[in-house]
Chain A
Amino acid sequence: QAKYKERGTVLAEDQLAQMSKQLDMFKTNLEEFASKHKQEIRKNPQFRVQFQDMCATIGVDPLASGKGFWSEMLGVGDFYYELGVQIIEVCLALKHRNGGLITLEELHQQVLKGRGKFAQDVSQDDLLRAIKKLKVLGNGFGIIPVGGTYLIQSVPAELNMDHTVVLQLAEKKGYVTVSEIKSSLKWETERAQQVLEHLLKEGMAWLDTQAAGDPQYWLPALFTELYSQEITPEEAKEAIP
Chain B
Amino acid sequence: MTHQFPALSPEQKKALADIAQRIVASGKGILAADESVGTMGNRLQRINVENTEENRRAFREILFTSDTSINQSIGGVILFHETLYQKDSTGKPFPTLIKEKGIVVGIKLDKGTAPLAGTNGETTIQGLDGLAERCAQYKKDGVDFGKWRAVLKITSTTPSQLAIQENANALARYASICQQNGLVPIVEPEVLPDGDHDLQRCQYVTEKVLAAVYKALNDHHVYLEGTLLKPNMVTAGHSCSKKYTPQDVAVATVTTLLRTVPAAVPGICFLSGGQSEEEASLNLNAMNQSPLPKPWKLTFSYGRALQASALAAWLGKSENKKAAQEAFRKRAQINSLACRGQYVLSGKTDAAAMQSLFTASYTY
Please determine whether chains A and B interact with each other in the same assembly.
no
